[in-house]
Amino acid sequence: VITLEPKLEQILLQSMQKAGQGNDDGILLEPGMAEQLQRSLADMVQRQEMQGKPAILLVAGPIRNMMARFVRYAAPGAQVLSYQEIPDSKQVTIVATVGQN
């Protein structure tokens, strides 16, 4: 799975709250940050797909819907799940983290 760097995930959560969109309808992101996030996600998803592995982005529950819409444009082949959707009996391997250099 692909995850978000914790600081980036926190920024997204705070931006969503500032936008007053607690219902996942939107987020306020600096255009440069949104573009970088889009490029990073597309690159990581492409690497996963080239290896024949599913591209899954794992995020915090409150930003799942917003990130699913965002990923639909950045990397249409990827799936977005929240941590809560992964059963305790499942083990996941993090292969990439968006926001880490």
pTM to 2 decimals? 0.85
Q: Which domain holds residue 25?
A: 2-98
Domain count, the chain: 1
Angle subtended at Cα 35 by Cα 70 and Cα 82, rounded to the nearest 5 degrees: 35
Q: What pLDDT score does 20 carry? A: 67
The pLDDT of residue 24 is 46
Distance separating the N- and C-terminal Cα atoms of the chain: 17
Q: At how many degrees (to 10) do helices 64-74 and 31-50 cross?
A: 70
Residue 16: per-residue pLDDT: 81
Is residue 19 exposed (0-12), middle (13-18) or buried (19+ Cβ within 10 Å)?
middle
List, run by run, the mean pLDDT of 10-residue segments along the chain (101 residues): 95 81 60 89 93 95 92 90 94 90 61
Do 98 and 44 meet the contact criterion of CB atoms below 8 Å apart? yes
- Give the domain CATH number at 56: 3.40.50.12790
